[in-house]
Amino acid sequence: MGVNLTMSVVGWFHTAACVAALALGAWLIVARKGTPRHRRWGDGYVAAIVFASLTSLTIYTRHAFTAAHWFAVMAIVTSLGGFALGRWHGSGPAWKYGHLTCMLLSYYVLIGGGVNEVFLRVEPLRHFIVPQFTPVVGQTHGLVMMAFILLILGFTIATAVSQVRLALRRRKTEAGRLAKAAA
């Protein structure tokens, strides 16, 4: 089985940043949220995905600005938006929904680009994408999209449940304080 790893120097830097973002993003999805480690690794993820996206904007195999470049712009916007929501949020839980959606969308773009790269670079799969996309590539992207829709939905529900639990805990604590004060 042949794998084509012919790339420019920028391509290698781009690939290294993508691998770093893949690893950091996967860890961030499964790790505990809101910890100092989550914040540090999240900073690393944002740096890696922004660097990967910026370098991809300099790679032109067709001598034109393609859909891949627009996805890079989307990754930059969503990762920086998620970063801003996580770093400079106000009071209340609304920022959490925007943060997790932006970060998962940026990771989705990264995975989608990886799907294309696998089809382009692994010789037995190349015929599915060259000279044009086939239904197999579209179905693979569809499965990835469904997985990320489920991830966003799952994290949204988990966040909502944790917010309800927190509100109930606070209400119970406040009721206990009021009862003590009245006694």
Residuewise pLDDT in 10s, the chain (183 residues): 677 777 888 989 999 999 999 999 999 999 999 999 999 999 999 999 999 999 999 987 777 888 888 999 999 999 999 999 999 988 888 899 999 999 999 999 999 999 988 888 888 888 888 878 889 989 999 999 999 999 999 999 999 999 999 999 999 898 888 888 887
Give the pLDDT confidence score for residue 125 in this predicted structure: 87
Q: Which domain holds residue 84?
A: 9-182
The answer to whether residue 17 is domain-embedded is yes
State the pLDDT at residue 1. Answer: 63
Question: What pLDDT, on the 0 to 100 scale, is given for residue 104?
Answer: 97
**Is residue 2 a part of any domain in this protein?**
no
Alpha-helical regions (H) of 64-93: 67-87
Count of the separate structural domains present in the chain: 1
* CA-based torsion, 24, 26, 32, 33: positive or negative: positive
**Taking a C-beta distance cutoff of 8 angstroms, is the pair 44, 24 a contact?**
yes
Q: Is residue 48 part of a domain?
A: yes
Ranges of beta strands (E only) in 74-113 are none
User: What tokens does 79 get?
Assistant: 């990762």
Domain assignment present for residue 1? The answer is: no
Q: Which CATH number covers residue 111? A: 1.20.120
The predicted structure's pLDDT at residue 99: 95
* Per-residue pLDDT at 16: 95
Query: Is 23 inside a domain boundary?
Result: yes
In a domain, 3, yes or no: no
The span from the CA of 18 to the CA of 5, in Å, is: 15
By the 10 Å C-beta count (0-12 exposed, 13-18 middle, 19+ buried), 89 is classed as middle
Structural domain contains residue 71: yes
Q: Provide the pLDDT for residue 3.
A: 74
Alpha helices in 122-134 (DSSP H): 123-126
Residue 4 located in a structural domain: no
